[in-house]
Chains A and B, each alone.
Chain A
Amino acid sequence: DAKTTQPNSMESNEEEPVHLPCNHSTISGTDYIHWYRQLPSQGPEYVIHGLTSNVNNRMASLAIAEDRKSSTLILHRATLRDAAVYYCILRDAGYQKVTFGTGTKLQVIP
């Protein structure tokens, strides 16, 4: 299974942009890149996903490298509610099976 590598933790000041990196050098052509986040004592929450092109939604933006071996989740203005563990995930197009990385714990400083 393809694996992802993320920094264990990151800090950001409130209302500043945050760039969360993810390496997935063994990604296959049919793997979609998904990001989920998990707040304390809750199940993971979907954030965004993409295949090749950069994606934007109301929560975040996803920048995907041209060779697809890395991606970056961008939170445009971090708030205290964004403090969570962020998981970069690869999902095969044909199945729901996913490979979760270790995640990045984001701390937002007021």
Chain B
Amino acid sequence: GAVVSQHPSWVICKSGTSVKIECRSLDFQATTMFWYRQFPKQSLMLMATSNEGSKATYEQGVEKDKFLINHASLTLSTLTVTSAHPEDSSFYICSAQTGMAGELFFGEGSRLTVL
């Protein structure tokens, strides 16, 4: 199947700093990528839908100024957690779809810990 890779897989940062997480589709072009957040023992919550070349669409309750999403190319979307706080500590997962209605493939996730 297609491969989606996230980097970094884990990151520890100080409160107030910004952290960038990359999501790459390695062997296919993804016009749409999705960013999820997972708290311990909870479901994956969709944060935003990222479309190449346009602004991301955020889910209700997700602060777009805090979670900046950039989908600059057909193979790369980035999530930047700005001015991170301990409550932002979570597991962030991206997914990418092949084509307009293709199968979804998930990245391996990025564990963010904010001290």
Q: Do A and B come from one complex?
A: no
Interface residues of B (CB under 8 A from A): none
Q: Hey, which bits of chain A sit against chain B, CB under 8 A?
A: none
